[in-house]
Every structure is written in structure tokens, then in C-alpha cells.
Structure 1
Amino acid sequence: MQSFRIRLNVVFLLIIVSLLVTLGLYTAKLVQSIYIDVLEKHLTTEVHLIADDIVYGQLYKKPDVLGIRMKQFAEQLGARITVLAQNGKVLSDSDHSPATLPNHLNRPEIREALRTGTGHAIRYSATMNYDMMYVAVPLKQNGKLEGLVRIAIKITKVQETVRNLWLSLTGVLVLVLLLYSFISTRITRSITQPIEEITRVARDITRKQFRSRIATRAKGEIGQLAQAINSMALSLEQQMSAIQENEKRLEGILNNMVSGVMLISDTRRIVMMNVAVEEILGHDVRKYIGHLHQEVGKNSGLSMFIDRCFETGGKMREEIHLYYPEERILDVHLGAYASEDGHVKGVIVLLHDITSIRRLEKMRSEFVANVSHELRTPITSIKGFSETLLDGALEDPEISRTFLTIINEESDRLNRLVTDILDLSKIEQKKMPLKFETVDLVQLVHETVRLVREEARARDITIYLPLSISCILDGDRDRLQQVVLNLVSNAILYTPEGGEVTITVEDAGVNQVELKVSDTGIGIPAEHLTRIFERFYRVDKARSRESGGTGLGLAIVKHLVESHHGMITVESREEEGTVFTVQLPKRQIEHS
């Protein structure tokens, strides 16, 4: 209570000081006003006497007499007297020659005198170069306006008196204020310092500076308030630290999720998106935060499901197809979350990219169908010819030999098919480790061509070998030989008799080797070029089967090249030929 009384005394002190200042201001203004009123009345009386004298003697018609008379009045009164004609022209002036003075009709005191009978004004005189008080009255003869007379006096005395009064009041007030300011400062410091500390800490808290504390020894209510705020700041610091830690965890989890997460508020605007959504939908996360969800999901149909989830307030699961920025299949989970009163506050959208799963399912289905189809042909042949032999054909040696030859060929074909399937499976599952060593690709090509040279001669096909002497790279010799053998065998197979197969090996750059296998064969139609590396895909199915091909050779080649961190491309024109280009790195260490 003592502190309250001190503060109350200070308030009363401020009120008293305010009243003293107000009273001083009012007194100074009152004295100035009274002084000016008395002076105006005095001048008004004098100017009427002068006006009566001028009218009585009709001095406005006698310029010489008028000038002498006005100077006499001016000397007696210590003022400036000016007589004007009714049009404002100066007839006489006690201080200046009338000819040097301008027309005075527009002076404020003259206009007021013409309007009301007496004109008053306090203004700066451009002629005298200081402030003056003016009083003007009209000169009337038998009710007719004959001119005007104006008396003016310097108001420097008035201003000086008022200035002295102001200085006295100001001095007293300053002394009083200084005295009481010293006293009140000592008193208010003990009150305001803890409040200022409390204010500072409160501002720091609003700026999220929760480590700020109040350093004060104040007692009583203010001390208790300071301790309460310090406790609140400590609690907020702990809570915000926990919240920030949770936010970082949540942000880390969301940004490292493969699935996309979106949060839609009850205003139908996006309030959160993770990086996966940006990758799946092709939209910049920062650009669409705060925007309506229709701007992101309208084209894909996602917005329709979000609106439906808002309406039902439940959970949904849908599958949608995207065609931009690339074709994708998404498994979409939507769930609404509500407040305690059951009002839907928002919708959480979870996006799973199942494109690869669906593609894998399709590939597995096609693979099973293709394997079944490919296996059915040799098995059917073996079974059919075996049954024929068992039914009696075994007695005929010639027929038996023919059927057994076919069974043997179909068994070899079945064995090649199973072997290729197993090899392809091992390569795709990375279960066929590559043994990298230094390989001369030119020498490897020469060694591989020897294996198919007899087949080429039988078909009268000319094979042109690389012109370069050597080309060294890192690779698995057996797998690279398998790549070359498949490409050269295909070139021979699809080249008519008398055709040509050309193999070139070139240094394509700092760490690149380029192998090309070109032929003058039947070529590949343009619509098939994008699919020739698929398993069991054949352009000419009848000819492939007749040659004993399994349809897996190019798929194996593609996987082996990619296992060497290389790339294979194809160019072809029907009836002109085909060119397979394989690009391989010289050093595999850079890809390890």
C-alpha cells in the first residue's frame, strides 16, 4: 500500500504542476489580451477625434494643411496617422510621402472600417518593417463617405511586456519542475524500473526470445508479478523447445517419406505439402501453400475426392491416373479430422506412387504368359513326337530317326530357353556378380567373331572387323563376349545371303568406348524400335522360332550393358539395315 500511496502522490504532483502551467499560460494570455484591448480602445478614441477634426475643417480638400495637421497629431500621440481618399488613395501620411505609398483599400482594417464603421488589425507593416496595431474609421460629411483616417502604433511595448511576463512565468515553472522532477524521478524509478523489465521480457517473449528473464529486487505485487513472468518464460521456453523438436522430427519424417502428404484446411486451402508431393504431382511446394486444392488436383480428379471427403467426413481410398509431368498411377488415401463438436476441420491426403508396382504386375503377367507360350511349343513338339513313336512309328528306322532328331532339337531349344530365363533372372536380381578386369575390346571382338564365322560363311555374309589396333577398358570378359556374340549373331540371322556385317570399336571420349554392330539386313520397323529390348518380344516371330531364338537375347544384352554402367541404342530402316551402338565407360572405378 505504501508504494501505491507514493504513486498516488506523484500523480497529484503531476496534476498540480499541470494546473500551474495551465494557469500561467492562461494568465499570460489574459494580460496580453487586456493590454491589447485597452490600447485598441485608446486608439479608437484618438482616431475618432482626429476624424472629427478632419471633417470639421474639411481638411481632406486641403492636402497641405492636412499633412501639417496630421504630423502634429502624430507627434503628440507618438503614432502614425494616414488619411485615405474614399478610393483608398493615400492623401496624407505622417511618416512617409503619400506619393510613395500604394493604394490602401485592400488593407484588412480599411475593409473592416468600410463594412462596420471601425476597423482593427494587428499585423506586420511592410512599410515600417515591424508589427503594428491599426485602427481605422471612415470620414463622413452629412452621411457621405469622403475618405478614411487610420492611426497605427507599434506594439513592441505590448510584446515586450508579454515577453517579460512569459519569461518570469517560465523561470518559476522551470525551477518548480526541476525541483519536483528530481524528487519524482527518485520515487518513480523504484516503480517504473521493474515494470520496464517486465515490459522488456514480455516483448522478448513475443519475439520468441524465451530465455529472457526479469532481473529485479522489487517487493510486493510487482515482485510477485516479475516472478510469475519469469516462471511463465521458463515454461514457454521448455514448451517451445519441445514443439520445435517435434516440428523438426515431423519435418524430417515428412520430407523423407516416399509417399506424398497434403493437409487441406476447412477453408479448402493447402496448409502443408511435403517434398514427395512436389515430385509426384510436379508442383512447387512453396508456390501452392495457401492456395485452393483445386489448383493442384483438378486435372487429376484428386480435388473431387477431397471435396467428397469433406462432405462425408470419413475415410476414402481411390486410385487415380496422372499424365503430367509423366504418367503415374497413384493410390490415394483420404481421411477427415474433426473438432470436438464434430465439425470437419480438414482433410489429410496420402499419395502412394504405385506406378512401378502396377508396371511390375503387368510385366510379371506378361512374363508368365510369354514363358508359358514359349515353353508350350517345344514341350508340345516333344510330347507329340514321343507319342507318335510309342504308337508304332518306332518300328520305322527312318521315321524314328527324324522324330528323335526333332525331339533333340526341341530339347536343345527348351534348354536354351530355360538357361536364358535363369541368366536374365540372375542379372536382374544382381545375383550374377561381374568380375571386372582389363579387357581389350578389339581382341575380344576378334575372338567372338571366330565362333560365328562358319555360320556367316554358310550364308555368304561378309564380316568387317574393327580397324583399330586395341581399345582397353574395365569389364567382365565373359559378359562382354556374350553382348558381342548376341549382337553379331542377330546381325547374321537377319541379314540376307550376300549381305554385310560391320563391327567398329572407337574411342568416344575421355572415359567412353563405343562399339557398333551394323548390318545390311531386313531392318526393324519404326514402331518396334522402342520394344525390341523387352523380354520375349520378336519383330518376326516365325523366323525367330525357326532360327531357335528365345526372344531374350536383346533383353540380356541390355541388362549386361547397364551392369557395366553403359548404354545401348538402336537405329534401323526397313530393307536397309540396323545399327546397334553400345557405349561403355573405360574405367568402372568411377561408378563404384
Structure 2
Amino acid sequence: MILFFEIIFVIFNYELLSKVYEEREKQILKEDSLLVTLISQGKPFKEYGKLFSDSNIRFTIIDYEGKVYFDSKGNENSMDNHLDRQEVISALAGDEGFHIRKSKTLGEYYAYYAVKYGSEDKYIIRTSTNYSDKREQLIYFATILTTFFIVLNCIIHFFYINYLKRDFENKIKKMKRYLEKGNTEKLLYYKKEEKWLLEFWEVLKEWQKRNLDNIEKLDYDKKLLKMIITSVDAFIGLIDENGKFVLKNNSLNHLLIVDNKEYIKAFKYIEIISVIKKSLQEKKDIRQEIYINGIKEYFIINIKKIKKNNQFLITIKDITNIRRTVEVQKTFISNVSHELKTPLTNIKGYLIALEDAPQEIRKKFLNIVENNVVKLENTIIDFLNISKIENSKILQIIPEEIYKIEKQVNDSVVIIKKEKNANIDFHWNLFPNNQGFINTDREKLILILKNLVENGIIYNHSSIPKIDIFVYEEKDRYKFCVKDNGIGIPEDKIKKVFERFYRVDKARTSNLGGTGLGLSIVKEVVEQFSGEIKIESKEQEGSIFKFYLMK
């Protein structure tokens, strides 16, 4: 550390002195350039040689293109262009330029000062002076200073080493005295760097080995425990009988004010505090499910009393997703039951009615039964598709012929297409080298397009339902736009149409045969492709479904 500061001190003084020398040289050169300007004012370049023949000032006249017109100590005709000189560049850019470097012409270090020259500022006057002797003085100064500190360090280290030697000898003697007297129970403490003392190791190596082994094992167990505690997705905390945290992990930090050590101040919500308080007061284990209304989340709190030291182990697990999944399952089962029960009830009712129905309305009843059978079949197919999607997340993406995709989509809706006299048109915009093929999972793509096309035909009051499917190939994905001229979706309902069993207007669409699952299926499949789907729609003006599928 001392050596570091000494080096910094030498560098700082060298730089400071260099700066002083440079500023002094700059001022001298500046005065020289002013003197030359005053003497040469109004005189042509050819007279400069005679004017300054007895002067020691070296100066050069350079135009703005870098050409040398006059040099007081050299032949200007043999000099190269000076436009790349640092001091000239600085003078052209501003008022003046100053630079120190080794001269290519003279082979020594020179200081250069340049400033604009002449009444019309067409030239630059550059004055210079030999800087080698000043540079040598600086190097000499730095050498003297460095030598001084080296000698000083040697002296300091010599005395320090002798001090350490005497100190170590005294400590060894002290250890010997303790051991010779049998005072092995009394411990002597030394710094880590002093463990190399051989005589200390010889006497205590077995004791030290056992202790090191125990420390290593304890350290490993501590790290393992810490790793386990920090890796679990539940809050784990240990508090003493006074309600202060002994340790805790960083899970579920949104429930706590992290810096507080008292549980009653650390936890933000009274629902948690009241359970812990009850356990501490009654000194017993508690396991309780709570609902925090402020954040709309469910938690399981488990508190175990550690009898040995009157501490309490608290675990808090977030079960919000589990509860929501249960609610979703209940809702799904309820909706499934309803969707199956309605057509079955209709079928049963009309079959009973057929027994006594007159011949002229029997056909009407049979048509109603048939429609309900179709609705029941579609509902079951949608349920099977949902199950298939959830159980098969792997995509089989391979090159597929586009004419097969067009044919399969048309075949999947052939009955309703014929009934409603609908038109389905595909518009492919693919890269030139990919004409006729796209990379996709054909089965899942057909499922998406079939549901969107079917919806566009079913929910359509036009005499000729028209569905246009546009496909655009991009660098790493395909953009699909499915456009229809159907009844459209109200703006405030667009966000809800992807929910399972949701229908925009059940009263208005109940006779159209949909299950409310189609768009939910579409969204789930699109997300399996790592894509997204958006809707643009206005009532009575049709809808456009835009979605992206990764290649």
C-alpha cells in the first residue's frame, strides 16, 4: 500500500512539473511568434531571411493547405506538407495550437506553437524550440525521486523484517512456556498469516485438524441449508419468543418490509400477523389457510414451535394459482355439464314428443333432434380438442404443401359452407424460394383456421358469407389475417371472446350452434407456436383475426 502511494506521488509530481515546463515553453513561443509578427509585418517572405538572420528564433510560415512558405532555420523547399501536424490542426480549428514531439527533421524533441498569421489570416506562423534538455531534466528529477523512495523502502523493510523476526521469536517462546507448563486448555490467538509457525503446528496439529474438519462440515451444512432455504418458492422465517427474526429467506418479499426485524412490523398484512401472534401467545403449532383481500391472494401459513430454544419456524406458501386452478376446473365442469345437458334434454324431449306427434310435424321434430345431435357432437369434439392441446404441447413443424392446407380447411367446413353458400379464398404471399410450401404443424394450423372460418360463416347474416385468408411470410414467422363479413364483435367484448364458453350475446347467438370454445382453442394453439392473436372488429362490418406463428 505504501509503495502504491509512493508511485502515485512520483507520477503526480512528474506530471505537475511537466505541465509547468510546458506552460512556460508555450508562453515563450507565444511571445516569439508575436515578436516575429511585429517585425515582419508588411514585408514579403523573401526578405525574412535577411530580417531574422541574426535571430535565434526558429519559426515557420505555413498556408492553410499545409505548404511551407518560409522556415528560419531550414530549407522550405525540401520540407513536406505540414497540414498533419497537431499544432497546425489545432490552430486551424481554433485560435492557437501547442504540441511537443520528436522532430522528424532534427531528430530531437521540440515544442511547437502555432497561431494564425497575417492581416487576412491566410497563413499560420509556427514557432519552435528545443525541448530535449527540459525533458532530460524531468527524467532526471523522476529518477532521483524514484531512487530516493527505493532506498527509503529498503531501510523501512530492513527494520520491519527485524521487528517481525524478534516478534515471532517471542511468540514461539511464549507458546513453548504454555505447553511446557501443560496449559493446553488456554488458547493463544494469532493472525492467519502466522499459522506457518512450525512449532505451533507440531504441538497442536491434531487438535487443529479435528477442529478444521468440524468447521468445514459446519460450513458445508450451513451453505447447504442456506441453499435449500433460498431455493424454495415459499417464505421461511425463524423468530424468537420475542417476535424478532433470527433468519429468513427472500421469497414472497411483497408481503414484508424487508428491513424490519420484528415480525409485527415486517409483515404488511394483518391476516398474517394475527396468525403468528396467536401461535406465539398460545405457544402451539398452527396451520391455517388465509385470504389477503388487499392483494387478492391465498396463502397457507404453517407455524412450528421449536421447544428447545423457544423459537418458531414460519412457512408461508402462495396457493393462489392452485385455488384459481380449482375454480377454473369447477367452472369448466359446470359449463361442460350445461353444454352437454342442454342438447341431451332437447333430444330426449323431442323423441318423447315424436311418439304422439302428427305425421306432418314429425319431420320438423327429427330435424331439431338432428341439429341437437350435431351440436352435441361439436361440443364433444371441442372438449377433445382442448384436452388434446393441453396434453400435447410439442409442435411437429415440417414443410407442408399449401394446396393440402387449403383442401383440408375447406373439407373441415364443407357442410356449413354448402348450407350458407359461403366463399373461402386463400391469398399466399411467400418468399420466392418457398412457393407452394410453409413450415408449420399442419394439424394445429388446420384447427386454428377451421375454428376461425367456421365462426366467420356461422355468425354471419350475409346472403353469401365471404372469408378471406391472407398469409404473409416474414423472416422467422408467418402472419395470418382471417377476414370475414360477419356480424362483428362489439368493442367492449373483444377482450373476453377468448375465454372458454364465452359468447358475445347468448340470446342473439344461441340458435347458431356455437359452443363458446372455438376462439379459446385458437388462442391456446397460437400461444403454443409462441405467437399472439389480435382482433379488429366492428358490429355489422365483420372481423379481422390477425395472428403470428413462428416457423
Please classify the TM superposition score into its range, dividing by the shorter chain length: 0.5 to 0.7
Q: Distance in 2 between matches of 1:449 and 1:338?
A: 73
Amino acid of the structure 1 residue aligned with 2:231? N
Amino acid of the structure 1 residue aligned with 2:174? T
Distance 1:571 1:401, change over 3 A: same
Cα-to-partner distance string for 1:535-573 (whole Å, 9 max, x where unaligned): 222122244432221222122212222233322233444
Write out aligned runs for 1:74-89 (5 A): none
Q: Distance in 2 between matches of 1:192 and 1:298?
A: 58
SS in 1 for 2:487: coil
Aligned residue pair count = 376
2:236 is matched with which residue: 261, 264, 272?
261
Distance 1:270 1:502, change over 3 A: farther
Deviates more, 1:369-378 or 1:261-270: 261-270
* Residue in structure 2 matched with residue 468 of structure 1 by the alignment: 429
Deviates more, 1:546-555 or 1:495-504: 495-504
Question: Retained in 1: the 8 A contact 2:424–2:468?
Answer: yes
* Residue in structure 1 matched with residue 473 of structure 2 by the alignment: 507
Q: Does residue 1:409 correspond to 2:375, yes or no?
A: no
Write out aligned runs for 1:362-441 (5 A): 362-390=327-355, 392-393=356-357, 396-430=358-392, 434-439=395-400
Q: Distance in 1 between matches of 2:270 and 2:488?
A: 41
* Residue in structure 1 matched with residue 215 of structure 2 by the alignment: 240
SS in 1 for 2:363: helix
Cα-to-partner distance string for 1:332-369 (whole Å, 9 max, x where unaligned): 212333446xxx33x32212221221111111111111
Q: Distance in 1 between matches of 2:360 and 2:408?
A: 39
SS in 2 for 1:484: helix
Cα-to-partner distance string for 1:510-547 (whole Å, 9 max, x where unaligned): 31221122344433334433332222221222444322
Q: Does residue 1:517 correspond to 2:482, yes or no?
A: yes
Q: Does residue 1:545 correspond to 2:532, yes or no?
A: no
Distance 1:437 1:454, change over 3 A: same
Distance 1:547 1:330, change over 3 A: same
Amino acid of the structure 2 residue aligned with 1:484? L
Q: Distance in 2 between matches of 1:495 and 1:414?
A: 21
Q: Distance in 2 between matches of 1:522 and 1:435?
A: 35
Distance 1:534 1:234, change over 3 A: same
Distance 1:445 1:274, change over 3 A: farther
Distance 1:515 1:412, change over 3 A: same
Distance 1:456 1:399, change over 3 A: closer
Question: Retained in 2: the 8 A contact 1:254–1:274?
Answer: yes
Residue 480 of structure 1, CA deviation: 0.6
Q: Does residue 1:203 correspond to 2:190, yes or no?
A: yes
SS in 1 for 2:384: helix
Deviates more, 1:448-457 or 1:533-542: 448-457
* Residue in structure 2 matched with residue 317 of structure 1 by the alignment: 287
Write out aligned runs for 1:154-165 (5 A): none
Residue 400 of structure 1, CA deviation: 2.8
Residue 376 of structure 1, CA deviation: 1.2
SS in 2 for 1:581: strand
Distance 1:454 1:410, change over 3 A: closer
Q: Distance in 1 between matches of 2:418 and 2:220?
A: 76
Residue 296 of structure 1, CA deviation: 4.2
Cα-to-partner distance string for 1:435-470 (whole Å, 9 max, x where unaligned): 332135687357625765885686576666426255
Write out aligned runs for 1:207-218 (5 A): 212=195, 215-216=198-199
Q: Distance in 2 between matches of 1:380 and 1:190?
A: 100
Return 5+ residue gaps in structure 1 as ranges. Answer: 1-183, 218-222, 587-592
Question: Retained in 2: the 8 A contact 1:270–1:292?
Answer: yes
Residue 234 of structure 1, CA deviation: 2.7
Residue 195 of structure 1, CA deviation: 6.6
Q: Distance in 2 between matches of 1:434 and 1:189?
A: 74
Q: Distance in 1 between matches of 2:439 and 2:251?
A: 38
Q: Distance in 1 between matches of 2:526 and 2:233?
A: 29
SS in 1 for 2:515: coil
Question: Retained in 2: the 8 A contact 1:378–1:414?
Answer: yes
Question: Retained in 1: the 8 A contact 2:279–2:285?
Answer: yes
1:330 is matched with which residue: 294, 299, 315?
299
SS in 2 for 1:261: strand
Distance 1:365 1:558, change over 3 A: same
SS in 1 for 2:251: helix
Question: Retained in 2: the 8 A contact 1:471–1:505?
Answer: no
Residue 500 of structure 1, CA deviation: 5.4
SS in 2 for 1:203: coil
* Residue in structure 1 matched with residue 173 of structure 2 by the alignment: 191
Q: Distance in 2 between matches of 1:572 and 1:542?
A: 20
Question: Retained in 2: the 8 A contact 1:445–1:484?
Answer: no
Amino acid of the structure 1 residue aligned with 2:283? G
Residue 472 of structure 1, CA deviation: 5.2
Q: Distance in 1 between matches of 2:199 and 2:452?
A: 88
Q: Distance in 2 between matches of 1:193 and 1:461?
A: 103
Larger Rg: 1
Q: Does residue 1:297 correspond to 2:271, yes or no?
A: no
Amino acid of the structure 2 residue aligned with 1:305? V
Cα-to-partner distance string for 1:406-454 (whole Å, 9 max, x where unaligned): 2222222212212221221122122x86533213568735762576588
* Residue in structure 1 matched with residue 323 of structure 2 by the alignment: 358
Distance 1:374 1:213, change over 3 A: same
Distance 1:189 1:293, change over 3 A: closer
Question: Retained in 2: the 8 A contact 1:273–1:289?
Answer: no
SS in 2 for 1:216: helix
SS in 1 for 2:236: strand
Question: Retained in 2: the 8 A contact 1:270–1:289?
Answer: no
Return 5+ residue gaps in structure 2 as ranges. Answer: 1-165
Residue 484 of structure 1, CA deviation: 0.7
Question: Retained in 1: the 8 A contact 2:255–2:268?
Answer: no
Residue 294 of structure 1, CA deviation: 4.2
Deviates more, 1:297-306 or 1:414-423: 297-306
Q: Distance in 1 between matches of 2:391 and 2:460?
A: 34
Residue 248 of structure 1, CA deviation: 2.3
Question: Retained in 1: the 8 A contact 2:279–2:303?
Answer: yes
Cα-to-partner distance string for 1:6-40 (whole Å, 9 max, x where unaligned): xxxxxxxxxxxxxxxxxxxxxxxxxxxxxxxxxxx
Amino acid of the structure 1 residue aligned with 2:388? K
* Residue in structure 1 matched with residue 139 of structure 2 by the alignment: none
SS in 2 for 1:202: coil
Identity of aligned residues (%): 26
Distance 1:242 1:525, change over 3 A: same
Residue 258 of structure 1, CA deviation: 2.9
